[in-house]
Amino acid sequence: MKQFYTTLLFCSCLAFTNNIALAQDPRETEIRRLENLERESVLKSDSSILFDKIWSPNMVVNTPANIVGTVEGTKHQLRSGNLNYISFERNIEKITFNDNVAIVMGGEIIKPQGQQVNAGKIVSRRFTNIWLYKNNSWSIIARQATIIKVE
């Protein structure tokens, strides 16, 4: 009988711990959704979503070309076909919240095409996106991407 209660207690603790581990901040769910939407929009060159919903008009970017740019420069790159990818994968490793700011870090694998540098090659890079929650919506206010490997 003692073994039965020990087993029951163990299973109860395990179930409780599992429920806590699976609980996710609803903000994280939203940021993950928006990160994926941003990735898909870049892949499709969908400027209406990027310009009107995701990228802040004040966004700054530390580009893979090691140049600090603005949202206007990024928009120009998209319009001119310099953000043109055959594939674009993003692996989010960490999302951290600090009040109304979300910091997202991880890795990306892209395959540029067309006139882009490294067209046809597989490019691995590290990224950081910083999101700001303002006026009931999230937008990217800063981005950093660093190339770590080209194959």
Domains of the chain: residue spans and CATH: 25-150 (3.10.450.50)
pLDDT, tens digit, for every residue of 56-91?
999 999 998 889 999 898 888 888 888 899 999 999
pLDDT at 16 over 70: no
Look up the pTM and report it: 0.81
Q: What are phi and psi of 54, to 5 degrees?
A: -110, -50
Copy the structure tokens of residue 87.
């594939």
pLDDT, tens digit, for every residue of 87-142?
999 999 999 999 999 999 999 999 999 888 999 999 999 999 999 999 999 999 99
| 143 three-class SS | strand
